[in-house]
Amino acid sequence: MDKFTTLSGIAAPLPLINVDTDMIIPKQFLKTIQRSGLGKNLFDEMRYDDSGAEIADFVLNKPAYRRAQMLVGAENFGCGSSREHAPWALLDFGIRCVIAPSFADIFYNNCFKNGILPIVLPQDQVDLLMDDAQNGANATLSVDLESQTITRPDGSAISFEVDAFRKHCLLHGLDDIGLTLEKSAAIQSFEEQAAQARPWV
């Protein structure tokens, strides 16, 4: 998993409440267990019409947001089914941070496990960032995980809270496998001792 330390880039505004995981990545794209290749189908039913042509007024199809690295969303972002393909699709598109007033729990947890930083902020602060995001390429947000701040285009900063353990994992690029591998020496030592104590196993 890639480390998350700082991120500066364009934030795409998505002021829709209850954006569920089927909107993020529709069910027909869940056949793969590969984490790559899903970005082209992110928000598929909102980005493309029935013929596969882009819907021009959807935010990620607009020139200013085609390379967005952040999303500013609304309440209950990531609700619906628990599919891990949702953060996979966001990450494959290039989204490393989602800011919203609230998230569905499973989606929120899956984001951390896949190198995406979900940030919960009060509605009034989300509204400020949503206004910034509406300015497109003229508005870059900067997220610093170490200091837990978001710097707006005018230079003002907004602080956010994040669980200390999850912060550690993101800063060091540790998913569940990475956390286990940190203990590889202890695991190896245990296995050797177990083999000596119970050679018949």
pLDDT tens digits along 160-201: 999 999 999 999 999 876 666 666 677 777 776 777 778 876
CA 139 distance to own-chain centroid: 20
Check residue 33 and give its pLDDT.
Answer: 80
Return the number of other C-beta atoms located less than 10 Å from residue 11's C-beta: 28
Q: Considering the entire predicted model, what is its pTM?
A: 0.89
At 104, is the secondary structure helix, strand, or coil? coil
- Could you tell me the domains of the chain? 6-197 (3.20.19.10)
- pLDDT tens digits for 111-155? 999 999 999 999 999 999 999 999 987 779 999 999 999 999 999
Own/partner pairs for 86-89, CB < 8 Å, 24+ apart? Answer: 86/21, 86/24, 86/25, 86/110, 87/111, 87/113, 87/114, 87/116, 88/25, 88/35, 88/38, 88/114, 89/24, 89/25, 89/29, 89/38, 89/39, 89/41, 89/42
Return the number of other C-beta atoms located less than 10 Å from residue 103's C-beta: 22
